[in-house]
Amino acid sequence: MTAQLIDGNALSQYLRGDVAARATALQARGVTPGLAVILVGDNPASQVYVRNKVKACADAGLHSVLEKHDATLNESALLARVQALNDDPTIHGILVQLPLPAHIDAQKVTEAISPAKDVDGFHIASAGALMTGMPGFWPCTPYGCMKMLESIGYDLRGKHAVVIGRSNIVGKPMALMLLQKNATVTVCHSATRDLKAQTLQADVIVAAVGKRNVLTADMVKPGAVVLDVGMNRDDDGKLCGDVDFAAIRGVASHITPVPGGVGPMTITMLLVNTLEAAERAAGVRS
């Protein structure tokens, strides 16, 4: 068996086209969806991420504002900026790029963002909404994974899904989303005793650890669907994910590549969330 690729670039292109069309429709009602991105300090990876986010907004017809602050910015000044953006009617989504400098309490800043503008889905209110099945913003990376499963017409009902990783940004929300679609969900992590015994039972595996070769071909049931959230470098400095892609391709039915898999979907879902925030603000969505 050679697994089919789930192409995150192609799916992103399709979904971003839909975002652009809906943004145009909103614009006709006098509302331009707006995203504010705040970057504090000069972390090189963060600089690349925010640049990509701002460019994706422009390409989809969304307004964006990039606020760059010196690493010495103090917490109260940042909280004041967040408050000003909460009050700004031209801004529908607010994203404070993480990590923040150590002298700033990232959780406090996240909780300062209005839940109505929390397009990252990191606010406790968003997490609570996801947990209880109420409307709210879903974190972009696991939301993108759900869209990838949807794109192959995968019905999760009664399936066994194994999530490797338990972060607040990916692993935990991923498990809740899979559960909401009626999968039986197992969350594995660094203290899991026999990871292979778990993954061999899985119809769907999501690897979100941030370590190469967490999942190898002998750990995958033939025909399983494998989603790779990892973003690592191999010995040659080439981008790779958390799973042994080449070998697992011979076992799985579907797999996401790295690059070109989950990565582009994260930004795509940020655009979707921002657009939906604007639609809610404009009263065209509940």
Contact 180, 143 (CB under 8 A): no
Under the binding rule (CB under 6 A), the answer on residue 276 touching ligand GUN is no
Under the binding rule (CB under 6 A), the answer on residue 120 touching ligand GUN is yes
In sequence order, the β-bridge partners of residue 66 are 37
For CA atoms 38, 277, 123, 228, give the dihedral sign.
Answer: negative
Residue with smaller CB distance to ligand GUN, 65 or 282:
65
Binds ligand GUN by CB under 6 A, chosen from 96, 145, 178, 243:
96
Under the binding rule (CB under 6 A), the answer on residue 97 touching ligand GUN is yes
Catalytic annotation, pick one of 53, 147, 159, 172: 53
Nearest residue to ligand GUN, by Cβ distance, number only = 98
* Distance of alpha carbon 154 from alpha carbon 227, whole angstroms: 13
Q: To the nearest whole angstrom, how small is the minimum distance from the Cβ of residue 121 to ligand GUN?
A: 9
Under the binding rule (CB under 6 A), the answer on residue 149 touching ligand GUN is no
Q: Tokens representing 225?
A: 């669907």
- Check if 244 is active-site: no
- Check if 47 is active-site: no
Q: Are strands 34-40 and 63-69 parallel, antiparallel or unpaired?
A: parallel
Q: Is the peptide bond before 264 cis (omega within 30 degrees of 0)?
A: no
Under the binding rule (CB under 6 A), the answer on residue 106 touching ligand GUN is no
- Check if 180 is active-site: no
Binding mask 22-61 for ligand GUN (x = CB under 6 A): ---------------------------x------------
DSSP per-residue letters across 104-121: S-HHHHHHHS-GGG-TT-
Contact 209, 240 (CB under 8 A): no
Under the binding rule (CB under 6 A), the answer on residue 273 touching ligand GUN is no
Binds ligand GUN by CB under 6 A, chosen from 98, 116, 179, 231:
98
- Listed ranges 78-86, 89-97, 125-133, 233-241: which one lies at the site for ligand GUN (CB under 6 A): 89-97
* Among 127, 131, 133, 134, residue whose Cα is nearest residue 113: 127
Catalytic annotation, pick one of 120, 203, 242, 244: 120
What are the distances in angstroms from CA 127 to CA 47, 63, 136, 138? 26, 26, 8, 8
* Distance of alpha carbon 39 from alpha carbon 99, whole angstroms: 9
Q: To the nearest whole angstrom, how small is the minimum distance from the Cβ of residue 270 to ligand GUN?
A: 7
Residue with smaller CB distance to ligand GUN, 199 or 268:
268
Instruction: Enumerate the active-site residues.
Output: 53, 97, 120
Task: Please give the residue ranges that form the binding site for ligand GUN (CB under 6 A).
Answer: 49, 95-98, 120, 140
